Structure 1
Amino acid sequence: MSKYQGPARDLLKYVGGSENISVVTHCVTRMRFVLKDPKKADVENIDALPLVKGTFTQAGQFQVIIGNEVSSFYNEFIAIAGVGDTSKEEAKEAAKQNMNVLQRMIAHLADIFTPLIPAIVVGGLILGFRNIIGDIKLLEDGTKTIIEVSQFWKGVHSFLWLIGEAIFHFLPVGITWAVARKMGATQILGIVLGITLVSPQLLNAYGVAGAKEIPFWDFGFAKVQMIGYQAQVIPAILAGLVLSFLELRLRKIVPNSVSMIVVPFLALVPTVLIAHTILGPLGWKIGSVVSTVVYSGLTSSFGWLFAAVFGFVYAPLVITGLHHMTNAIDLQLMSQLGGTNLWPMIALSNIAQGSAVLAMIYVNRKNEEEKQVSIPATISCYLGVTEPAMFGINLKYGYPFLAAMIGSMIAAVISVGNHVMANSIGVGGLPGILSIQPKYMGTFAIAMVVAIVVPIVLTLAFAKANVGKISLKGKKENSAKAA
């Protein structure tokens, strides 16, 4: 008998049986359920299962954290439950019936940016590595960079920009593809649309401000500026939405016999024209306003207050899914200002959550079963993935989560107060220092130390003071019992 058979039967019973499951799928660490009646799920007994690291509800889905063995467990579960395998997209669509308007908007935004994350992470690592070898004077008594001394590393530095440029400067291609994919439009049309926004024929977005003359298309009765939208987020999203809208509507009215020819042409050509005459300039203006407001807020005399609030609430935002909105803001800041002061705070929040779990490993050092959750969760958190730590440990006890929020808040104030900027996003946790602009790395390192020390000290203090354990259901228990 498989070792997962017993836990799978128990989980099936506690989620309300097969008849209560509308859709079930899994991701890297979690089982994702869309339940017909979420109230039938016995959360307390599910949390008590040895294989379960935690539970939470997000984006209309009841999610059960299993860990790295989720794939094997999932196969056993669906065999016992008698439910069919399904895709994540089908699960998301089914989950929307349990979501309000705001949750749906956030889910759509997340669906656009989530497929782009692997590329953004790679881009962030590349820019970080280029920082180290090209911008920091590490050699000859701090007078020269590595690329100034070594021809090999100079070549590597130049070569890596090929990838970095493809990821960040040509980001609109990925965004328009992701929008088309999300909306059910033809994905290759989304890619073509994105290329028309960053074509070499256009004046590069980064050269617009200093250009003596902007080229244009002359239609006789009208002139359209030939401006590129490299690294621009909002113009790409708007263009992708218009393309999808036109294509999906045309599919309904154009006869099938000619749809393959007519629909792509009538969807793509007008969208490209609209993108360069209306959506591009409008999106650029909106993006500029957003980035200016955020940057001004963070660099104003009240920047410390903004940083304190953001640092304190970012972890709760992750629980609600609202944190996906920061991706668009970060990318817009990067395109407008050449960096972002928002991302460093996110990396610090990751570190703070991991540090709180590290303290809990000591508090519950005699609990061998919990170590199976807490040790991997700490490592995961320090590498930028906080969910196992938050749902498996910190929210389970309550006070470590609060300690991490306080540590994140103090570290964020230090970061923003010293104007720390990141070149890119995507690299979280301890490796996040690689994305920081070289002149701010020392200050960010101090903020990292704070994000490590404060949560550890506060968690140990709260545990010693017997603050109490707060479960996900809100019941208080004596923390000593957990030890």
Structure 2
Amino acid sequence: MDNKAIATDVLAAVGGKENVTYVTHCVTRLRFNLKDSGLADRDVIEKIPGVIGVQEAGGQYQVIIGTNVGQVYDEVCRVGGFAHETAVMPDKDSVGKKSILSSMLGTIIGCIMPLIPILIGTGLGKCILMIIQLAGIASSDTSMAFYVFSFVFDAGFTFLPVFTAIAAAKHFGSNQLMAALMGCALLHPNWTSLVSAADPKFIGDMFGIPLYGMSYASSLIPAILIVWVMSKLEGFLNAKLPELVRGMLTPLITLLIMTPLSFLLLAPAMGYLAVALGDALLTIYNAGGGVVIALICFVYPWMVVTGTHSTLAIAGMQLMAQTGYDPFSRTLPLVANMSQGAAALACALRTKNKKFRSTCLSTAFTVFFAGVSEPVIYGVTLRLKRPMWAVMIGSAAGGLVAGIFALKAYTWMTPSVINVAMWIGGDGLNNLFVAIAAMVVSAIVSFIATLLIGFEDPTSDEVEEGADYQL
């Protein structure tokens, strides 16, 4: 598969590089912010070899590529002249064409998606350490190597505001090192010791204004808002200050303004909002338990199709930072992924088309072991339509088991068969056994439901048209 050809064709089909204000990627998708989404030709894009599908969600035009999206993204940046470090900001003419909510979601998702490799890497590392400790091989008390790796992996979440600030600066086109400085300020030892030793609701007076404080370790939203405001201030100062003193005065004035603004208003406001969101989700979860999880799991496969599932991941990060575990956002992809893979295996068993069977098996392997569901969705279940009902039923069944027994994820990772250690935590291995039970129930119910509901076996011509879904 020629990544350069994919990048060139996709860039042309979305309206050319002149129509792109910003481009990033997640695990499987190229995410474009377009000046005019009407210039993008969906039919052309979907026929490009190597493209799985297209979705518009969260204020972004998303081109689904698959597991090689990173290489395609590199080629898009090279062909289009986009720098990885600097975002291409929208023109004034493009502002206001999207709803406020859509723009906000697109911004938050665009700032957080670059953090996924850090979260996956540190999360998998923590899983390995959990297994080593449970096996009695080593611990922080007995091994210096274990101790060092432990705090390195913990750093992924502890210093999340710094990583978020850098990613947000890239998204907003502001100075990334100045953004990192503001992220570090939120985690400075003097501040963290102050908020942990005093009343977290009131710290003291700053310029005669009450200063309310809280710990911002592992937070996301405060850093995004601070960097957004800072980007506006930087742009104003660079436009108004004489070039002779701009390099000296812009960073100084930025810090003089952003420091009180951040600690008096922006950070505490967003911090309390994030905590309120986390508390609200926990309240809903505790009140409804298995029923709530089952209902959300039932519709979750369609959230993946539309790309709106990313917003739940943000909520999950907040819950994990707030409580040390996530009872919500990791359960959904766990049962949905198992259901998607089992449905694909059922299709492979029933189909008489050898090429389509190959597609089913390869995409099932990808979702089971890598946790990437787009290939199986667009290559098998959504493509055949009726198996999506089986996936929804299987997801709901697994979600009911997970909800009833209060399944929790203790590490933020992409759920898959390989990453089962992310469910180790709490008292003993009970939580892990619940996760395995939810996986098994989801897979069995989805497999049986797919066979019962059935599907229209694709012809050889139809398989040829969808050959690019194979991995």
TM-score band by shorter chain is: 0.7 to 0.9
The structure having more radius of gyration, on CA atoms, is: 1
Residue aligned with 2:192, SS: coil
Distance 1:462 1:92, change over 3 A: farther
Mapped contact 2:238–2:250 kept (Cα < 8 A): yes
- The residue that corresponds to 2:138 in the other structure is 147
Distance 1:299 1:226, change over 3 A: closer
Mapped contact 2:341–2:376 kept (Cα < 8 A): yes
- The residue that corresponds to 1:190 in the other structure is 179
- Equivalent residue in structure 1 for 2:270, among 269, 276, 283: 283
Number of aligned residues? 440
- The residue that corresponds to 1:475 in the other structure is none
CA distance in 2, matches of 1:213, 1:65: 49
Letter in 2 for 1:125: L
- Equivalent residue in structure 2 for 1:56, among 42, 50, 54: 54
Distance 1:115 1:73, change over 3 A: closer
For residue 158 of structure 1, report the CA deviation from its aligned partner: 1.5
Asked whether 1:110 is paired with 2:99, we answer no
- The residue that corresponds to 1:268 in the other structure is 255
Distance 1:401 1:147, change over 3 A: same
TM-score normalised by the chain length of structure 2 = 0.79
Mapped contact 2:164–2:223 kept (Cα < 8 A): yes
- The residue that corresponds to 1:141 in the other structure is none
Which consecutive unaligned segments of at least 5 residues does structure 1 have? Answer: 139-144, 471-483
For residue 197 of structure 1, report the CA deviation from its aligned partner: 0.4
Asked whether 1:387 is paired with 2:385, we answer no
CA distance in 2, matches of 1:323, 1:122: 21
Alignment of 1:29-48 (within 5 A): 42=43
Worse overlay, 378-387 or 52-61: 52-61
Mapped contact 2:87–2:170 kept (Cα < 8 A): no
CA deviation map 1:170-212 (0-9, x unaligned): 111111222222111111011000000011222359x83xx46
- Equivalent residue in structure 2 for 1:364, among 351, 355, 362: 351
- Equivalent residue in structure 1 for 2:434, among 420, 439, 443: 443
- Equivalent residue in structure 1 for 2:322, among 336, 354, 362: 336
TM-score normalised by the chain length of structure 1 = 0.77
Mapped contact 1:23–1:86 kept (Cα < 8 A): no
- Equivalent residue in structure 2 for 1:327, among 298, 313, 321: 313
Worse overlay, 340-349 or 107-116: 340-349
CA deviation map 1:95-135 (0-9, x unaligned): 9898544433222111111110000111211222232233x
Mapped contact 1:121–1:425 kept (Cα < 8 A): yes
Letter in 1 for 2:54: F
CA deviation map 1:351-402 (0-9, x unaligned): 222222222222235322x345333322221212111111122111012222
For residue 26 of structure 1, report the CA deviation from its aligned partner: 9.7
Q: Structure 1 vs Structure 2: percent identity of aligned residues?
A: 23
Mapped contact 2:66–2:375 kept (Cα < 8 A): no
CA distance in 2, matches of 1:197, 1:218: 18
- Equivalent residue in structure 2 for 1:460, among 446, 451, 467: 451
Worse overlay, 109-118 or 280-289: 280-289
Which consecutive unaligned segments of at least 5 residues does structure 2 have? Answer: 459-471
For residue 462 of structure 1, report the CA deviation from its aligned partner: 1.7
Letter in 1 for 2:295: V
CA distance in 1, matches of 2:285, 2:380: 32
Mapped contact 1:352–1:407 kept (Cα < 8 A): yes
- The residue that corresponds to 2:467 in the other structure is none
Distance 1:160 1:57, change over 3 A: same
- The residue that corresponds to 1:476 in the other structure is none
- The residue that corresponds to 2:295 in the other structure is 309
CA distance in 2, matches of 1:461, 1:306: 26
Residue aligned with 2:418, SS: helix
CA distance in 2, matches of 1:18, 1:356: 33
CA distance in 2, matches of 1:445, 1:377: 21
Aligned alpha-carbon RMSD (Å): 4.2
- The residue that corresponds to 2:363 in the other structure is 377
Distance 1:385 1:224, change over 3 A: same
Worse overlay, 181-190 or 355-364: 355-364
CA distance in 2, matches of 1:331, 1:288: 11
Distance 1:255 1:70, change over 3 A: closer
For residue 48 of structure 1, report the CA deviation from its aligned partner: 7.3
- The residue that corresponds to 1:473 in the other structure is none
- Equivalent residue in structure 1 for 2:147, among 147, 150, 158: 158
Letter in 1 for 2:280: V
Worse overlay, 408-417 or 214-223: 214-223
For residue 253 of structure 1, report the CA deviation from its aligned partner: 2.1
- Equivalent residue in structure 1 for 2:333, among 341, 346, 360: 346
CA distance in 2, matches of 1:299, 1:73: 41
For residue 286 of structure 1, report the CA deviation from its aligned partner: 1.2
Distance 1:429 1:54, change over 3 A: same
Residue aligned with 1:345, SS: helix
CA deviation map 1:23-74 (0-9, x unaligned): 699968678887875696547xx7678x456422324537364875996999
CA deviation map 1:236-272 (0-9, x unaligned): 2222222223222222222222221111112223222
CA distance in 2, matches of 1:456, 1:385: 18
